[in-house]
Amino acid sequence: MSLSIPSAVINWDILNEIISMDEDEPSFSKELIIQYIDQVDTTFAEMEHHLHTTKDLSQLDSLGHFLKGSSAALGLQRIAWVCERIQNLGRKAENTFPDQTDILNTLPKGVSLTEEELKKCNGDDNDEVTSQDVEDGENTIYIALISKALRQARLEFRLARNALSEYYKTEL
């Protein structure tokens, strides 16, 4: 599948609209971002939960949709893209997910993650392992793909946080 993922981590056209509202409500955008970060953490955990326990694709679908909405609204288009993949995988509307390196290659020059960050995102739980129980059902392949997508989402999230931290000159 061709990588239609947007190159830039942040679509500033969109984010700037939000930032422009700081005029009326100071630090509106920053608080919103912080709120978003919390939301992402929560949602990722939720996804993780479903991946490992319920394996409920429709839940993953909605979670993907949910996170896609806020990510896109903030201009975090790469995360939104990955979330859309998760959503579609949850609906079984797609059945592939590109490799991590391919996706990371689409990043603009100068944007990258450190080894440490990569490791951290990919790290702890090796979701690849979950593909063991293929026999559990036809959903397994989707679960595996979503796991893969989720790792990618974490990477993208890290990238976005880095970019946002840079913008706000704070560690977010």
Partner 1 sequence: MSTNKNPLLSSITSKKKLWLRIDNCTDEINEPISITFDDNDSVDDLKEKILKELSSTRWRQFNDKASIALGYYEYNDTPTKVQRRRTSSPPVSQSQQKLKFQSGPFQSNDKITLQQPIPTSKSNMSLTSNMLSPENTETSPRRALSTSPQVPVSSTNIPLLRFHSASPSINIRSKSQRHKARHNHKHNNSNNHYYPSPTGSSFPSSSSSSSLSSQYHHHTRTAININNNDSHRHSNPASLYAYNHHHNHNYTFHPKNIHNNSYSRPLNRTPELQTDHPISRVIFDPEEKIIAIYTELFGPMGSQHSSDPLFIFSNQLENPTPKEEEEEREEEDLKEKSVDTVEPTINNNEDNEIVYGDESDQNSRNTPFNDNEDEVEQGKNFVNIHDTEARDYELITNEEQLRRVSETMVGGADNNPDTPKQAILLLPKGYHSDVSFKEKTVPPTPTPTPRAEVETEHTLVSPLDNNDTFDDSSPIQQHPLMEQEVGLLHPMLENEWRKTGLLSPISPLMAGSITPHYSNSYSNLSHDALLSGITTTSEKVFPKINVLIVEDNVINQAILGSFLRKHKISYKVAKNGKEAVDIWKEGGLHLIFMDLQLPVLSGIEAARQIRAFEKENGIGIQEHSNSLKKNKTKAPVIIVALTASNSQDDKRNALISGCNDYLTKPVNLHWLSKKITEWGCMQALIDFDSWKQGQSRMTDSVIAKSPHKINPKVNKSTASIFNSMDKDESKVYSNSNNGSNNKIHEKHKSVPSIIVDTNYRE
Residues at the contact surface with partner 1, assessed by CB under 8 A: 14, 17-18, 21, 24-25, 28, 31-32, 35-36, 39, 46, 62, 65-66, 69-70, 72-75, 80
Q: In whole angstroms, give the CA distance from residue 162 to residue 9.
A: 10
Cβ proximity to partner 1, 14 vs 141, nearer residue: 14
Smallest distance, Å, CB 73 to partner 1?
4
145-149: which pairs have CB atoms within 8 A and are 24 or more residues apart? 145/89, 145/94, 145/95, 145/96, 145/97, 146/47, 146/51, 146/57, 146/60, 146/64, 146/86, 146/89, 146/90, 146/97, 147/51, 148/97, 148/100, 149/82, 149/85, 149/86, 149/89, 149/97
CB of 10 to partner 1, least distance (A): 13
Whichever of 29 and 162 has its CB closer to partner 1, that residue is 29
Least distance between partner 1 and beta carbon 32 (Å): 6
Report the residue number, 60 or 144, with the smaller CB distance to partner 1.
60
Residue closer to partner 1 (CB basis): 21 or 129: 21
Q: Give the nearest distance from C-beta 171 to partner 1 in angstroms.
A: 20
